[in-house]
Amino acid sequence: MTQSEPQSTLTSAALQADQIRTNMRHIARRQWFLWSSAVMVTLLLTLGIASFAFPGLLTQAQDSSFLLSQAIHGLVGLVLLFNVYTIYQQLQIHRIQQQLCDQVEALSKVEVRTEEVYKLAVLDPLTGLHNRRSGEERLAEEISRSQRYGRPLTILTLDLNDLKHLNDKFGHAAGDELIRRFAERLKNAIRGSDLAVRLGGDEFLVLLPECKPEEVPRILARLSGLKVECNERLVEVSFSAGWTNFRPGESPEELLKRADDVLYVNKRANLEQRLQIVAAK
């Protein structure tokens, strides 16, 4: 999925919206002309009847009734012509309204398509978090912003423990459910300005702009204690974490490597601790 495809879809939606606005203006103009014509014809009818009837009433001429009859016939013809014009205008308005409905329906389909393309290009299908590519793009943007304004930027990497053992024991469906539940907990644990990313498998990345490293333990505390039911058994979700702050001048790759180094140190420590617990039992 290329980035140009979402852009072209958005451009098509914008063109559809412009066409809808143009048709709405056409409808408004036609309705204005129709109402203006109705008022004008009504005034002409009134003036016409008055111009023929009033002189006859004053002179009481013998041919006044004939003139009045001719005037009425002429005015009736004018009314018929106006009715034909009105029907024609109403048909034109109905045609434009039908086109407008078709365009609105097409626009709604474009919006659905745009959302689908966005999800495929940006979001991880299993968790709904941002995928690796969009996360790396956002990381580059946050680094640029941090260097420009001198604001803090911290990244947090996370890795679920014993996921392979859980997949072997309960099946991959249980492993996917554990990943989904952890992703939900992660989204609820961070701020709206932060970004949670699934790098792949059981690895996650969190971008924390305007955040210092000493604030990360509060996020980790919100992630702890999660339990997922697997085959009628509650399994506690454990994870390892590594975090560090951005140093001016370093690249995204260098920043990610430093966080990963901390993560793997903590992961080995967690593994040793679990092995000691098992040996003690």
How confident is the model over 148-171, as a mean pLDDT?
A: 92
Q: Are 219 and 206 in contact (CB under 8 A)?
A: yes
Nearest Cα neighbor of 82 from 40, 51, 117 is: 40
Q: Are 220 and 152 in contact (CB under 8 A)?
A: no
The full set of domain ranges for the chain reads 4-122, 132-280
- Please tell me whether residue 156 adopts helix, strand or coil conformation: strand
Q: Higher confidence at residue 92 or residue 155?
A: 155
Nearest Cα neighbor of 25 from 115, 80, 117, 96 is: 96
132-280: what CATH class? Answer: alpha beta
Q: Higher confidence at residue 95 or residue 70?
A: 95
How far out from the chain centre does Cα 79 lie?
52
Q: Are 212 and 151 in contact (CB under 8 A)?
A: no
Q: Compute the radius of gyration of the chain from its Cα atoms.
A: 37
Name the one residue in this structure whose structure tokens are 């469906």: 173
Is pTM beyond 0.85 here? no
Q: Higher confidence at residue 101 or residue 160?
A: 160
Per residue in 4-60, pLDDT tens? 445 555 455 556 666 666 766 777 676 677 667 766 766 776 676 666 555 554 555
Per-residue confidence (pLDDT) for residue 88, from 0 to 100:
78
Enumerate the β-bridge partners of residue 209: 153
Q: Are 231 and 168 in contact (CB under 8 A)?
A: no
Nearest Cα neighbor of 239 from 185, 195, 280 is: 185
Per residue in 100-157, pLDDT tens? 777 777 777 777 777 777 777 899 999 999 999 999 999 999 999 999 999 999 999 9
